[in-house]
Amino acid sequence: VTGLCRVGLSAQDAVRLAPLARTAERYVAGTEVTPPRAETRRWALVISGWACEMRILADGRRQIFSFLLPGDPIEIAPGDQLGRRSIVALTRLEVIDAGPLLKEDAISERRAFHAALTTALERQRERLFDHLLRLGRLTAYQRVVDLLLELRDRLDEIGLVKSESFHFPLTQENIADSVGLSVVHVNRTLQQLRREGLLDIRSGRVTLLKPAQLRALTGCNEVTATEPSKAAATFLQEET
């Protein structure tokens, strides 16, 4: 039920829908979430654990597109395979099939769930853009910080952050595969952050020691909506 709450459902709706979520699937770290059998698209929800959306290249290198935390929806299309996009558990993982929830009889609960799912998917999409920017325009140092801050914020929303500290099961290799760096360089970057006293990262736990300064590091991508930057204004000259 707590898992359902995390999707963005009210506690009431979550309680009512809970019976439908009996069918939790479990995965071990390193296994792939099974794609749909038929031609149809499949929907599921992460209840506990971490997973990622990734692609594996022929030469063995990997690119992680996104991390999936409790409450995140999973969408798997029939075409999604190893070479395209697969969902892989990074820890022990609990997932429930969203099919029954979407077909729930009670209109209001179904509506609520549908709405929650839609906004969650929308936010997932936004995160892809953030990630694109991270890979395209940020420095290694900034990429790592930016990723950690994203994860902090997402975990915070589902109540898994306590005084800037949270459980962190990612391997340095996972981070590297996400932010497009080599493991060695991720390691050096983390060491620098430690040395500077900005964060503490070790044995499955991260603590942000100076959150404000960390945010300032990647703050270059914050634009005050009320006052578009001069550069932007230059680029977007109005039609004359």
Partner DNA sequence: CGCGATTTTGAGCCATGTCAATCGGAGTGG
Partner DNA sequence: CCACTCCGATTGACATGGCTCAAAATCGCG
Instruction: Encode burial over 209-222: b for 16+ CB neighbours within 10 A, e otherwise.
Output: eeeeebeebbeeee
Give me the half-sphere count of Cα atoms (radius 13 Å) on the Cβ side of residue 163: 1
Asked whether the beta carbons of 17 and 9 are under 8 A apart, the reply is yes
Smaller CB separation from a second copy, 12 or 221: 221
What is the nearest approach in angstroms of a second copy to the Cβ of residue 117?
A: 16
Which listed option, DNA, a second copy, none, makes contact with residue 127 (CB within 5 to 8 Å by class)? none
| Interacting span for a second copy (CB under 8 A) from 78-86, 99-107, 194-202, 206-214 | 78-86
Helix (H) or strand (E) holding 126: helix 107-137
Which listed option, a second copy, DNA, none, makes contact with residue 190 (CB within 5 to 8 Å by class)? DNA
What is the nearest approach in angstroms of a second copy to the Cβ of residue 123?
A: 10
**Phi and psi, residue 27, nearest 5°:** -130, 150
| Interacting span for DNA (CB under 7 A) from 9-17, 108-116, 165-173, 223-231 | 165-173
Position 19 contacts a second copy (CB under 8 A): no
Binds DNA (CB under 7 A): choice among 41, 84, 167, 202 = 202
Position 2 contacts DNA (CB under 7 A): no
CB atoms within 10 A of CB 153: 10
Which listed option, DNA, a second copy, none, makes contact with residue 114 (CB within 5 to 8 Å by class)? none
Asked whether the beta carbons of 24 and 70 are under 8 A apart, the reply is no
Binds DNA (CB under 7 A): choice among 191, 196, 232, 233 = 191
Position 135 contacts a second copy (CB under 8 A): yes
Q: Give 69-102 as a DSSP string.
A: -TT-EEEE-TT--TTT-EEEESSSEEEEESHHHH
Position 28 contacts DNA (CB under 7 A): no
Structure tokens at 114: 């549908």
Enumerate binding residues for DNA (CB under 7 A): 139-141, 171-173, 180-185, 187-188, 190-191, 202-204
